[in-house]
Chains A and B, each alone.
Chain A
Amino acid sequence: MRVVVIGGGPAGVAAAEAAVRAGADTVLVDSEPTLGGQFHRGNPQRVDSRVRHLANSTVWAVQGLRLHIRTGPADSPTRTGEAIDADAVVIATGAHDRVVPFPGWDLPGVYTAGAAQALAKGQGIAIGQRVLVSGTGPFLLPVAESLKHVGANVLGICDANTGAGWLRHPRAANPTKIAELLGYAIRLRTSWQPRTAVVAAHGDDKVSAVTVAKLNPDWTIRSQRRVAVDAVCVGHGFTPRLELAVSAGCKLADGFIAVDHTGATSVPGWYAAGEVTGIGGADLAAAEGEVAGTAAAGGPCPATALAKVRSGRRFAAALAAAHPIRPGWQTWLADDTLVCRCEEVTYRALREAIDLDATGTRTFKLTSRVGLGLCQGRMCGRSAVDLATTLAAQRRTFFTPADLQRRPIATPLRLAELASLPEEDL
């Protein structure tokens, strides 16, 4: 019985350890040089020595239960290829930040909250000296804390929601989490500003100021002022990395991989754990990993971890409900605001594509070129679909926000690498 776990964050490491304990021959494939994923960046984790850990290794395609892997330095043509046949797979590829577009978000000095966090934790670098943190959700707090650790002056944390609904939410009554968040609040001594957002960034070659707005509950702008900064980081929640799950044929639910209580997806042999199944933090990810890794290896369901998963998911649902993305962000855009950073597609160009009667995601993408660049819509896809849906409704055209996640090659390969693949690998 061979279990292959994809992703070496809290979920993947826990899944691999559980699978190996349950007696499976276990392989852990992770694209990073060291284990730990996003949460433990800069603090490498270990895994049970019986697990075969493939570091610097990316699963770039799947064919049934056969996984295609490239190993070596990022984007290097010297990477070597390998295909592994699994009896069961656990997808634990995590998530990346979602950022809604605003004027100037493409200026250097504007980062995702995750980038600020990764640079601080992994490289000891502060993105700036006078920094604003903006977006929504409790993840902004550890980011602000990390920024302070590396010497940045955090001018404030702007949350477009109030988060209050969440603290009052009975299902979120999770004392550990609340204590954790209060701890940040006390340590940070930084002003946390509810219903506030960075809605524009200004500067020539680099951000030098931002517009901070007081928002209405729907995120439309109530009033605004200019603040001088040398960097800003923004995060409106997370987008799961679904490519492999989608190409394996796993069903999705609300934009995440649909799983049962054991982490089993809709496709036999395929399991999922961590932020690909919902956003709930590192502890929940690890508990989900333990449950899914055990199930993948055919072991008995671990009761304690399962109980943690159940309470963690309730917390996650309350969290998501308290930090929605409200449609008012669409009013922050100017005609020339980029929506797609790669292909430099502006808001105006999207509107023109809809005016030409783009009746589905495919035509819409081909007309406007949105999402057709190097990142393949990972940064702009969800925002573009939201904008198109609003614009189409205004113009009474028919638009189905089809699945923008379909990317048969999960990670870019160099052409030379593709050309050198043996035929049976393709």
Chain B
Amino acid sequence: MRVTIDGVQHSATPGQTVAGALLADGRTSWRTTRGAGKPRGVFCGIGVCFDCLVTVNGVADVRACQRLLAEGDDIRTEEP
């Protein structure tokens, strides 16, 4: 499977989540908080905390730990 993360092509495997791909790429944070601008990545890992938000195919606020990658997905983070 081919996906794009912040404009860079990556290969992904079925069952891999967006968070799984970002972490496998060595990224531990990809978003900053609205108030203090602090970095955030995965915290709860199961869809409860909303720390891990990314933009998928133009749709913002998708939980990276919950979304499975699909062929051709375009993932954008706030902090490329």
Contacts and interface: CB of A to CB of B under 8 A. Distances in A.
Interface in A98-125: 106-112, 114-119, 122-123, 125
B44 A76 contact: no
26 contacts: A31-B47, A33-B68, A73-B68, A73-B70, A75-B59, A76-B56, A77-B59, A96-B44, A96-B48, A107-B39, A108-B40, A115-B44, A119-B23, A119-B42, A119-B45, A122-B15, A122-B17, A125-B20, A125-B24, A205-B29, A206-B28, A344-B38, A378-B49, A379-B43, A379-B48, A379-B49
Interface in B1-32: 15-17, 19-20, 23-24, 28-29
Given A77-B59, A111-B43, A206-B28, A375 B66 contact: no
B67 A115 contact: no
**Chain A interface secondary structure, helix, strand, loop or mixed?**
loop
Interface of A: 31, 33, 38, 73-77, 96-97, 106-112, 114-119, 122-123, 125, 127, 205-206, 341-344, 373-375, 378-379, 414
Nearest to B61: A75
A381 B62 CA distance: 23
A109 B19 CA distance: 13
A341 B49 contact: yes
Interface residues of B, number: 37
B44 A75 contact: no
Interface of B: 15-17, 19-20, 23-24, 28-29, 33-36, 38-51, 56, 59, 61-63, 65-68, 70
Contacts of A373: 50
A112 B20 contact: no
Given A76-B62, A77-B59, A123 B33 contact: no
Per CB-CB distance, the 10 closest pairs between chain A and chain B, nearest first, are A115-B45, A123-B20, A74-B66, A374-B50, A108-B29, A344-B35, A118-B45, A75-B62, A108-B28, A74-B67
A125 B43 contact: no
Given A108-B28, A119-B23, A375-B50, 20 more contacts: A33-B15, A73-B68, A74-B62, A74-B67, A75-B61, A75-B63, A108-B39, A109-B28, A123-B19, A127-B23, A206-B28, A341-B51, A342-B49, A343-B35, A373-B50, A374-B50, A375-B48, A379-B44, A379-B48, A414-B59
